[in-house]
């Protein structure tokens, strides 16, 4: 089984993938590529980030979940430990520029500011380590995982440089086929409501009526209809979930079940 993930080997998506599935791990250059490769059958499963506990939603993932034929079958929370990575003979005082994915740079903004280091955006955390290695410039460093440093034979100049030590990223494991609803579990939905007073309240009232806990709500603009919105919702399932979901489907359009999956725990370390 081929499992595609966004980023280079050693990326946080790669680390999450090893906790979520077994098989041949395939690095891909974007979230879009993960969805496209899954839809084409080039990979059997895909791993994508969906949200970070500090920086919030990964909007591109939400957009592709709505547009593409992919289903969530598992979730995983990965504790993010950011490292400042440079050349083995570089000193911390030399570092002027730090490369990484924009979210990682934002998550380490306090450290960068306090050390007078200039952030440089790249497509991926692990990929940024490869970039500075190829540049062969000692005053450039990268923010990535410990594994990315080892894979590229680079040095960890400082560990745990993130602003907040409770820094987690939630990942989804995707398949072309949905899994069955079993308890205990979550279901992720996306829908749009009429632009009328009380439209969203009607949905929330259904959850209340059937004693269903909503754990997440995220809105995204409908790209083909300006200033209308899609609502992405996660719920904790109970014996009434299927009835509630059918009722919501009947009063919303568009509507899509994004997947059913076991509830993952957050391990604090």
Please spell the DSSP secondary structure of 94-110, one letter per residue: G--EEEE-HHHHHHTHH
Q: Other C-beta atoms within 10 Å of 244: how many?
A: 22
Say how far apart CA 256 and CA 214 lie, in whole Å: 16
The conformation of residue 138, written as its DSSP 8-state character, comes to T
**Contact between 9 and 38 (Cβ < 8 Å):** no
Tens-place pLDDT, residues 104-140? 999 999 999 999 999 999 999 999 999 999 988 899 9
- Which of the following is catalytic: 35, 66, 87, 171? 171
pLDDT for 223 equals: 79
**Contact between 222 and 228 (Cβ < 8 Å):** yes
Domains of the chain: 2-79+167-175 (3.40.190.10), 83-158 (3.40.190.10), 186-261 (3.30.70.260)
Three state DSSP letters for 215-245? EEEEEEECCCCCCCEEEEEEEECCCCHHHHH
pTM above the 0.85 mark? yes
61 carries an active-site annotation? no
pLDDT for 269 equals: 57
* 129 Cβ neighbours under 8 A, 6+ residues apart: 8, 10, 85, 142, 144, 148, 149, 151, 152, 154
pLDDT for 221 equals: 92
Say how far apart CA 52 and CA 42 lie, in whole Å: 28
Residues of the chain with pLDDT under 70: 268-269
Tens-place pLDDT, residues 212-253? 999 999 999 987 778 889 999 999 999 999 999 999 999 999
125 carries an active-site annotation? no
pLDDT for 144 equals: 98
- Which of the following is catalytic: 6, 25, 125, 169? 169
């Amino acid at each position: 089984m081929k499992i595609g993930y966004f980023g280079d080997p050693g990326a946080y998506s790669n680390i999450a993938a090893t906790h979520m599935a077994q098989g041949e791990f395939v690095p891909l250059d974007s979230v879009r590529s993960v969805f496209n490769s899954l839809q084409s059958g080039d990979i059997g499963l895909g791993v994508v980030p969906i949200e970070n506990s500090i920086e919030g939603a990964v909007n591109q993932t939400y957009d592709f979940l709505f547009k593409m034929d992919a289903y969530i079958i598992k979730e995983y929370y990965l504790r993010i430990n950011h490292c400042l990575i440079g050349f083995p003979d570089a000193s911390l005082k030399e570092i002027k520029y730090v490369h990484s994915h924009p979210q990682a740079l934002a998550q380490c903004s306090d450290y960068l500011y306090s050390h007078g280091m200039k952030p440089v955006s790249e497509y991926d955390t692990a990929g940024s380590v490869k970039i500075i290695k190829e540049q062969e410039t000692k005053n450039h460093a990268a923010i990535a995982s410990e594994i990315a440093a080892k894979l590229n034979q680079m040095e960890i100049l400082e560990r745990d440089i993130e602003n907040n030590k409770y820094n987690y990223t939630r990942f989804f494991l995707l398949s072309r086929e949905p899994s069955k609803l079993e308890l205990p579990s979550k279901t992720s939905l996306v829908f749009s409501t009429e632009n009328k007073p009380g439209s969203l309240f009607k949905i929330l009232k259904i959850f209340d009526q059937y004693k269903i806990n909503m754990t997440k709500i995220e809105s995204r603009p409908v790209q083909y209809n300006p200033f209308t919105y899609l609502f992405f919702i996660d719920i904790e399932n109970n014996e009434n979930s299927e009835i509630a979901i059918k009722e919501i489907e009947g009063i919303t359009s568009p509507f899509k079940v994004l997947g059913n999956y076991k509830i993952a725990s957050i391990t604090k370390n």
